[in-house]
Amino acid sequence: MRTPFIAANWKMYKTVHEAVAFVKELRVMAKDVHDVEIVIAPPFTALRAVADAAHASNIGVAAQNLYWEREGAFTGEVSAPMIKEAGAEYVIIGHSERRRLFGDTDQTVNRKLTAALAAHLTAIACIGETLEEREGGQTFAVLDRQLKDGLDGLNADQIAGLVIAYEPVWAIGTGRNATPQQAAEAHGHIRGRLRQWFGGLAADQCHVIYGGSVKPDNARELVSMPDVDGALVGGASLDVRSFFDILTRSRPQAAV
Ligand code: PGA
């Protein structure tokens, strides 16, 4: 049984002050939630402060990107060991905004994933098709390519510990979420490929979460679908009450 995994992707929102205030509030609200893995991904500038505010709580901390070298003349970049040292245990890799705006490819995603795992960070690897690809009947082919190239060289143990976020690009920030059926179909496909390439144990342990216009009023329906193990939440994670509602509605039914 996979524990539901709910992550807040704050993108380029929140000052250090705002981030810490959010985490202090969430910490109190969510103190009894032990059946959901809760993760916050603030901007780099707030990583250390958020990690301190979340210390010894049930809230984990993620970076939103990394560069694959450990150190060097790479102006503007941050490495996996630096992220780890700042107090994060997770990192989002290959978000569609990084792919679209900053040149991430399946190959750079693979290098970043490898670097994250070497630094003992849990990676949240993002994949998903554009609207054009979906309408062209390419969804599964795109997912296959992103998985095959992105996960190249990883072993079954690493896959077991990975989080894959299925984020259809047309659903991100648009208010148009995938239907629960569309999500279940894509997640089932992803799980099937993981089983085929990495074996049943790894496929059963790997979390496959959904992202794209998740809100309090659609979270339960999406997360209760087969093979949907949680959510990566953008816009609706910026307000603490809204994020808390999402994680509450993602708890295993028996606990709520
Ligand atoms: P959204 O973003 O929830 O605002 O659609 C999701 C994401 O980009 O991870």
Q: Per-residue pLDDT tens, the chain, 256 aa: give them.
A: 799 999 999 999 999 999 999 999 999 999 999 999 999 999 999 999 999 999 999 999 999 999 999 999 999 999 999 999 999 999 999 999 999 999 999 999 999 999 999 999 999 999 999 999 999 999 999 999 999 999 999 999 999 999 999 999 999 999 999 999 999 999 999 999 999 999 999 999 999 999 999 999 999 999 999 999 999 999 999 999 999 999 999 999 755 5
Is the minimum distance from the CB of 233 to ligand 1 under 6 angstroms? yes
Give the separation between CA 109 and CA 98, rounded to whole angstroms. Answer: 10
Check pocket membership of 212 for ligand 1, CB cut-off 6 A.
Answer: yes
Q: Span 5-255: which CATH code?
A: 3.20.20.70
- Find out whether the beta carbon of 211 lies less than 6 Å from any atom of ligand 1: yes
- Specify the amino acid at residue 14: K
Nearest CA to ligand 1 atom 2: 234
Residue nearest atom 1 of ligand 1, based on CA coordinates: 234
Residue from 12, 64, 167 whose mutation best tests the ligand 1 pocket (most atoms within 8 A of CB): 167
Confirm or reject: Cβ of 214 under 6 Å from ligand 1. Answer: yes
Q: Which atom of ligand 1 is nearest to the CA of 97?
A: 8
Backbone angles phi, psi at 210, to 5 degrees: -105, 140
Calpha distance 23→52 (Å, rounded): 10
State which ligand 1 atom lies nearest to the alpha carbon of 173: 5
Taking CA atoms only, the protein residue closest to ligand 1 atom 3 is: 234
pTM of the prediction? 0.97
- Distance, in Å, from the CA atom of 184 to the CA atom of 168, rounded to the nearest integer, reads 12
C-beta of 216 in contact with ligand 1 (< 6 A) = no
Residues tagged active-site: 95, 167
